Amino acid sequence: MTDWPHAPVHRLEESGAYIVTAGTYLKLPVFSGPERLTLLQDTLLRVAGECGWNLQAWAVLSNHYHFVGVSPKDPRSLTLLIKRLHGSTAVELNRLDGVSGRKVWHQYWDTHLTYEKSYLARLNYVHQNPVKHGVVEVATQYAWCSAAWFQRTANPAFAGTVGRFKTDAVNVIDDF
């Protein structure tokens, strides 16, 4: 089987933890503003649950999102999760803007996280993504990411371990 060279490859053979990144078409900030960010975050959390994915970290910004999630037994359900998330949010965004048929999403990338250190580093990366993009100075101040939730609900020792992982060398598509 030959991979298509112009799109990300989605190899979803094994259950486990994955990091997922998606960007808007032309990297346009179509989810700017509290109402739109809430739409994207709420839809992500709802659809992930409906598809059996257990989200461990998420960050939604005006032109992209990241999440780390643990798949159900069949990780191919990620395809349905993305289709429903992107379809639902695109329809609602186009309704809000009074346009029809506008392309909202471009592509998504997923990586199966098979090493504990990779998983922990990416958890921290996603929690800190609003800081990386200069949206806030402290991740827990950003309402559309999991940093504050993680700080409240995680075992303090585990949260401390995750927070100490360096994220500057983490290989995640994030040129937004």
Check which CATH number belongs to the domain holding 123 and give it. Answer: 3.30.70.1290
The answer to pTM > 0.85 is yes
Write out pLDDT tens, residues 56-84. Answer: 999 999 999 999 999 999 999 999 999 99
For residue 8, is it within any domain?
no
Q: Alpha-carbon distance 32 to 30, whole Å?
A: 6
For residue 43, is it within any domain?
yes
Write out pLDDT tens, residues 118-158. Answer: 999 999 999 999 999 999 999 999 999 999 999 999 999 99
For residue 142, is it within any domain?
yes
* Alpha-carbon separation of residue 171 from 88, 119, 126, 127 (angstroms): 29, 12, 12, 15
Q: How would residue 11 be classed by pLDDT, with cut points 50, 70 and 90? A: low
The crossing angle, in degrees rounded to 10, of helices 116-127 and 156-163 is: 90
- Report the number of distinct structural domains present in the chain: 1
Write out the residue range of the structural domain in which residue 149 sits.
Answer: 17-163
Q: Is the pLDDT of residue 109 over 80?
A: yes
Q: What is the pLDDT of residue 14?
A: 80
